[in-house]
Structure 1
């Protein structure tokens, strides 16, 4: 966020504008949207951003406001431009509802192509009991001011190619997990960092879906370069985050058969585990 600029409020930020959906009057459950080029990396639309777009449509379609669990299968690569999200309410109970959504775009021949299919459970985070019993611990990492931003990478960009998404994020990596940016990956398969939005908008349940997929992939720390396409991603939102940037920890324990898993934990300023995810991704071919 530029010095002297007031933080963007919910609804006023670039993230909110770029994930906005508009209901089709003539097609119940369908929502028009536009996928922004601003959330691409290496030319690909970010998977967490796509998940947030679908989740926003489901929030409008279902009787409960917050995603508790959401699973997405990425069927074909999405492109910046017009899209439609079609939703269906599967079940609605007193405290939770379940819905599914598919995101479609048209190909060069004008045919609709399904890009993303989602199944999600929604509820109300503020109505959950406050009892917490956990052995999970926040990631051990330096403070925000001692972590490194993209301006510290050679040429001011840690990733070659189109990295428009970095201009929309306030991302500062733990130096211990940023060696790959200067040609010295640790080989551990771990990435940690602080994450906010560049315009200062505080995180909410929808932006947590972006957060679990916004850091560079752990494949980079394994010494692999290139696009790491997500095949499937499941995210759990555990509570509404406190204001301020969150800490995100990504780990990979197994790479085999050209596939790797990536586990994410997202912690807020009050040391609460606010979101978790696991995804299956293809190993970069480059």
Structure 2
């Protein structure tokens, strides 16, 4: 499903995509999904360096389902990585601007050393699916939520039951709806898949992303991903959201930070 929904056609820097209505949430197409579409075009242009390594994306206006143009410019090639820019537009309206570095994660040395601590969460079968905690009418209004499964610790679901804990932290297991195994493309979706962390403060609603930077550190192992979001500051109508994605082998495989608007 994800591969078909993010597919692009074209060559020589000019690509065409069809933004899928199944990835809409709130006021437009999900930011992680849109970033994955841009990554498909970048990967097609940088074919010998297939994996996203670092991406910085600016969301210029809300994307809608339907045709989209993705224009790619290669800025630097040589060595183990290449850098390129991608601009996504619809009917001449700019939607997304991305600067990205691509490489081959399969060739990098396996020498991971980290002080990061993997979150402690009960196994997925003991957690609550977001579909069981979300009203049916909300699922219908936000089809994105049917594209994957999120499993939350039942002891930390106060925000979904009218009892926010003001923690500024959300953690959940993540798996795509068709049990498609995770890869670097899926990691770009995962970093923007959880509800806004503002939900833990009772600030519910769509939180439009202004900028998102993602680092893909390794190709993930098969199985569930463990995703955590946290914020430390909400000011001026904006908040930052830091994300970590851990794979089934216990490795930190992706990180991101985004700046978003507080829900209205």
Shorter-chain TM range is over 0.9
2:116 aligned partner: 136
Partner deviation per Cα, 1:170-199 (whole Å, 9 max, x = no partner): 211222432111111111111110001010
Indicate whether 1:145 and 2:125 are aligned. yes
**TM-score, structure 1 normalization:** 0.89
Mapped contact 2:139–2:145 kept (Cα < 8 A)? no
Aligned to 1:29: 13
Residues 71 and 154 (structure 1), Cα distance of their counterparts in 2 relative to 1, 3 Å cut: closer
> Is 1:40 aligned to residue 61 of structure 2?
no
Task: Give the superposition deviation at 1:160.
Answer: 7.0
Aligned position for 1:80: 65
Q: Deviations over 1:20-47 (max 9, x none)?
A: 00005xxx31111110110111242100
Question: 2: distance between equivalents of 1:98 and 1:40?
Answer: 29
CA contact (8 A) 1:177 1:190 kept: no
Post-superposition offset of 1:150: 2.4
Q: Does 1:194 align with 2:173?
A: yes
Q: Which residue of 2 aligns with 1:90?
A: 75
Give me the whole-angstrom Cα distance separating, in 2, the residues matched to 1:213 and 1:155: 21
Aligned to 1:3: none
Find the aligned partners of 2:177 and 2:162 in 1 and give their Cα distance: 26
- Alignment coverage as a number of residue pairs: 263
Is the 2:139–2:146 contact (alpha carbons within 8 Å) kept by the matching residues of 1? Answer: no
Are the equivalent residues in 2 in contact too, given 1:177–1:221 (CA < 8 A)?
no
SS in 2 for 1:52: helix
**Cα distance 1:128–1:19, how it changes in 2: closer, same or farther (>3 A)?**
same
Aligned residues of 2:215 and 2:254 also touching (Cα < 8 A): yes
Q: Deviations over 1:118-145 (max 9, x none)?
A: 0000111011111121111111111101
Equivalent residues in 2 for 1:1-286, closer than 5 Å: 14-23=1-10, 28-62=12-46, 63-106=48-91, 112-153=92-133, 155-156=135-136, 159=138, 162-285=141-264
SS in 2 for 1:93: coil
How many angstroms apart in 1 are the aligned matches of 2:170 and 2:176?
A: 18
Alpha-carbon RMSD:
1.3
* Contact 2:184 2:216 survives alignment (8 Å): yes
Q: State the shift of 1:161 in Å.
A: 6.5
TM-score normalised according to structure 2 size: 0.96
Give distance in 1, aligned partners of 2:9 and 2:143: 25
Identify the range of structure 1 (133-142 vs 83-92) with the bigger mean alpha-carbon deviation.
133-142
Tell me the distance in 2 between the aligned counterparts of 1:208 and 1:154: 24
Q: Residue 87 of structure 1 contacts residue 101 of structure 1 at CA under 8 Å; is this kept in 2?
A: yes
Q: Alignment partner of 2:135: what SS?
A: helix
Give the direction of change, closer, same or farther, for the CA distance of 1:233–1:74 in structure 2 (3 Å limit).
Answer: same
8 A Cα contact 1:33 1:83, kept in partner: yes
Cα separation, 2, equivalents of 1:246 and 1:218 = 18
